[in-house]
Amino acid sequence: MNKRIEAALNDQIQKESSSSHYYLAMASWAETKGLNGTAKFMYTHSDEERFHMLKLIKFVNERGGVAIVPAVPEPAREYDSLERVFELLLEHEVGVSESINGVVDICLQEKDYSTHNFMQWYVSEQLEEEALARSILDKLRLIGGDKGGLYLFDRDMETAAANA
């Protein structure tokens, strides 16, 4: 496997792994706040990110590269509000999209069209994730400090997690 591509994919493995960890910390935080629907959504999201990481690990190894299982930094333990959680989630996903675009760019520079093709799955996944995070954030901004609204929001998140 082309060394530059291998390094870029290993870097992406690290990002997907930290995303999984990041959402796991958010899930745990939500669970301790009685936001069980949001916690379920975050646990599911964390599993999805782990799947994104695994898909990359398999791809690198199957193509003759060596995938590195990375160390991950400890995510925050406390969050100011649910709105802040989803703001951070959106910021994080925008950063991940940029990183994926960077990998796609390297594939083009190195004329590695099969990895380019493989990465398209991540490109569309990111579009969906960013759109979802934006719509959730819009809802939370509408709800503001309304406790009843927050209760219904959390219930909806349980349904969103079940349909993910």
Q: Which residues here bind ligand OFO, judged by CB under 6 A?
A: 16, 19, 49, 52, 93, 96, 122, 125-126, 129
Contact 125, 52 (CB under 8 A): yes
Sequence-distant (6+) residues with CB within 8 A of 137 are: 83, 86, 87, 90
Residues tagged in the binding site annotation for Fe cation: 16, 49, 52, 93, 126
Least Å distance between CB 16 and ligand OFO?
Answer: 5
- We find the least distance from the C-beta atom of residue 15 to ligand OFO, in angstroms, to be 7
Question: What is the number of other CB atoms lying within 10 angstroms of the CB of residue 122?
Answer: 21
CB 84 within 8 A of CB 90: no
Q: How far is the CB of 100 from ligand OFO (least distance, A)?
A: 6
Which residue's CB is nearer to ligand OFO, number 10 or number 126? 126
Taking CB positions, which residue lies at the least distance from ligand OFO? 52
- The Cα-based distances of 80 to 77, 87, 111, 147 in angstroms read 10, 11, 45, 16
- Closest to ligand OFO by CB, 43 vs 145, is 43
- Considering the complex, state which of residue 35 and residue 103 has its C-beta at the smaller distance from ligand OFO: 103
